């Protein structure tokens, strides 16, 4: 480790760590960093692996502001050394979490932070806690056969997408920084027996907590109900304190049920937002589901470009499509059932847990209707709108249609003019279509029929086009972090040019604004990216 120095910027060294997780939960008594089954403990102490030549790629100004870090702090050498894992600040006590999980529907046993190391928790001015976590910082007891490292391509994707999702108003973990390590990491990107070296990188992720459904499953699976209760009580006291009458309240079955119900509601809200912006997580295993309803673990995710509810960005999931776009709510519910099973020993009554699961389904359905109505600029969802929306989804699948561009263009449709030709109707959404030859007379007629039904529905609301456009443009983004953009940023970064990473980070700070000088980032996926690795589907390799 690089030793602490007395010549430190005051804001960075003024960070005060209040490491509640380590202070209140059982630790692994073994401190040697070797792969093993860790029992009766929620975490293991482990230090990041020093790297040779870290270089700062980018940082999030907003996250830095939350932590009260200045520009000078973030652009200092110390910042780079700390968030590359080479230097520990006073109060940091790095550790890796123990958890399990269901992967692709099957129990996988102990998983844990195999390439993530938590540096500690910082409290902001409002008293909110933020866990600082390095992803790609080296081996931990949970690394299994892996090296604990991460490559630049996956790190660029996680760094930018974390911040883009926040500005899209999607619940998410955040990202403070991205650094390269100056070292190569060998990865078999396609799992085809052809590994190759790639530039290594580390992302500093930030969240109130990185607890997942699998954090509770692991102890239930082992019959370790004492640690399960300790962790559940810690979670309620520190992350859901509003469920208690007072800090010293005794926690019982009613609290666990209330807590689980809130997890269900937060999860429903998160998935509705995914559906709104066309995000596909790609690997919704229970170890990738946040107990806080945050989007977590940005692996083989993707953005729905061609509107295909059966699309998944994960090559591992290409056959069964378990985690496809249109199935995300059902998978979230399945995952919640697994969490309910894990919490059952604390409650010993299945019925209230079952009711929470049912409430998830009904809440999701209601939120989905509201969201879909908002995307269309309707004042409120009405029963008859179900048919309009159902017909829209058929129209979107008639030909290859870009979801983001379609909804954004629909806001510009003239609904006030009584008579328009088919070409006039299609003009605002013309850019959404990938293959012009697919716009046959039959398909045009069907699309225009729907557009006229939509015009009629808007006129029923009595909403002016100007007001409708304003409302729609607040929920339908102009810019989303398409996979081909991530690939372009990676290609440049691998050549030592980080300009596109920083330009995209700036663009996605305002994803609902027009930004005319950045409109080239709002176009359809180019033909060269249709089948290129990293632009269409991705593996879990990082």
Q: Are 32 and 45 in contact (CB under 8 A)?
A: no
Catalytic residue among 28, 113, 224, 287: 287
Q: Which of 338, 293, 288, 294 is nearest to 317 (CA)?
A: 288
Q: For residue 194, with 0-12 CB atoms within 10 Å meaning exposed, 13-18 middle and 19 or more buried, which class applies? A: exposed
Residue whose C-alpha is closest to residue 539's, from 153, 117, 161: 153
Asked if 278 and 480 count as a contact pair (C-beta separation under 8 A), the reply is: yes
Q: Which position has the token pair 């932590």?
A: 67
Q: Which H/E stretch holds residue 468?
A: helix 465-472
User: 282 Cβ partners below 8 Å, 6+ apart?
Assistant: 299, 300, 301, 302, 312, 313, 314, 317, 323, 538
Q: Are 385 and 456 in contact (CB under 8 A)?
A: no
Asked if residues 102 and 337 have their Cβ atoms less than 8 Å apart, the reply is: no
Question: What are the CA-CA distances from residue 462 to residues 155, 259, 378 (Å)?
Answer: 47, 42, 10
Taking the C-alpha atoms of residue 468 and residue 472, their distance in angstroms, rounded to an integer, is: 6
Query: For the packed helices 441-461 and 385-396, what is the interaxial angle rounded to 10 degrees?
Result: 150
CA-to-CA dists, residue 440 to 21, 436, 444, 505, angstroms: 60, 9, 6, 39
Inter-residue contact 136 to 158 (CB < 8 Å):
no
Identify the bridge partners of residue 137 per DSSP, sorted by sequence position. Answer: 149
**Alpha carbon of 532 to those of 316, 400, 487: distances in Å?**
16, 18, 9
Angle at alpha carbon of residue 483, lines to 477 and 486, rounded to 5°: 100
CA atoms within 13 A on the CB side of 270: 26
Is 297 considered catalytic here? no
Rg (the chain; Cα; Å): 24
Contact 177, 74 (CB under 8 A): yes
What is the dihedral angle through the alpha carbons of 468, 472, 474, 480, rounded to the nearest 10 degrees?
-150
Q: What is the DSSP string of 21-59?
A: HHHHSPBPS--S-------S-SEEE-PPPP-SS-EEEEE
* Among the listed residues 67, 66, 62, 64, the one whose alpha carbon sits nearest the alpha carbon of residue 75: 64
CA dist., res. 359 & res. 264, Å (int): 8
Catalytic positions, written as ranges: 287
């Amino acid at each position: 480790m690089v030793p602490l120095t007395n010549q430190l910027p005051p804001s960075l060294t003024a960070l005060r760590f209040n490491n509640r997780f380590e202070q209140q939960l059982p630790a692994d008594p073994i401190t040697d960093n070797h792969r093993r089954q860790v029992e009766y403990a929620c975490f293991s102490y482990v230090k990041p692996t020093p790297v040779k030549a870290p270089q700062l790629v980018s940082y999030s100004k907003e996250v830095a502001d939350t932590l009260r870090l200045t520009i000078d702090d973030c652009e200092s050498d110390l910042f780079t050394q700390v968030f590359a894992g080479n230097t520990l600040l006073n109060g940091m006590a790095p550790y890796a979490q123990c958890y399990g999980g269901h992967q692709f529907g099957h129990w996988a046993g102990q998983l844990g932070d195999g390439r993530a190391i938590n540096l500690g928790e910082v409290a902001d001015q409002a008293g909110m806690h933020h866990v600082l976590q390095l992803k790609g910082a080296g081996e931990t007891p949970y690394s299994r056969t892996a090296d604990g490292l991460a490559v630049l391509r996956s790190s660029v994707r996680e760094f930018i997408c974390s911040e883009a999702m926040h500005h899209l108003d999607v619940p998410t973990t955040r990202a403070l920084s991205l650094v390269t390590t100056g070292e190569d990491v060998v990865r078999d990107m396609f799992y085809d027996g052809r590994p190759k070296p790639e530039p290594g990188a580390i992302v500093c992720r930030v969240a109130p907590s990185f607890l997942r459904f699998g954090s509770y499953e692991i102890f239930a699976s082992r019959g370790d109900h004492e640690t399960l209760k300790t962790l559940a009580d810690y979670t309620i006291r520190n992350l859901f304190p509003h469920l208690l009458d007072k800090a010293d309240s005794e926690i019982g079955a009613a609290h666990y049920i209330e807590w689980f119900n809130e997890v269900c509601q937060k999860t429903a809200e998160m998935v509705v937002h995914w559906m709104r912006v066309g995000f596909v997580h790609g690997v919704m295993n229970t170890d990738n589901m946040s107990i806080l309803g945050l989007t977590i673990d940005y692996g083989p995710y993707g953005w729905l470009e061609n509107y295909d509810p059966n699309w998944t960005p994960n090559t591992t999931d290409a056959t069964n499509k378990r985690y496809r776009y249109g199935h995300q709510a059902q998978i979230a519910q399945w995952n919640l059932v697994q969490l309910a099973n894990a919490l059952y020993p604390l409650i010993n009554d299945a019925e209230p847990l079952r009711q929470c699961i049912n409430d998830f389904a009904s809440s999701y359905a209601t939120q989905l209707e509201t969201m879909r109505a908002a995307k269309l600029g309707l004042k409120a969802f009405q029963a008859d709108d179900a048919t309009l929306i159902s017909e829209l989804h058929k129209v979107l699948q008639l030909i290859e249609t870009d979801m983001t561009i379609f909804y954004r263009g629909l806001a510009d449709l003239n609904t006030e003019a009584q008579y328009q030709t088919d070409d006039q109707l299609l003009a605002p959404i013309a850019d959404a279509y990938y293959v012009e030859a697919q716009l046959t007379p039959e398909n045009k007629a069907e699309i225009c029929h729907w557009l006229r039904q939509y015009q009629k529905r808007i006129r029923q609301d009595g909403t002016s086009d100007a007001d409708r456009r304003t409302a729609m443009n607040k929920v339908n983004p102009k810019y989303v972090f398409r996979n081909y953009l991530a690939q372009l940023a990676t290609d440049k970064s691998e050549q030592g040019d980080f300009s596109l990473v920083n330009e995209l980070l700036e663009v996605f700070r305002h994803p609902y604004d027009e930004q005319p000088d950045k409109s080239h980032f709002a176009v359809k996926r180019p033909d060269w990216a249709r089948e290129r690795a990293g632009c269409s589907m991705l593996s879990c390799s990082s």
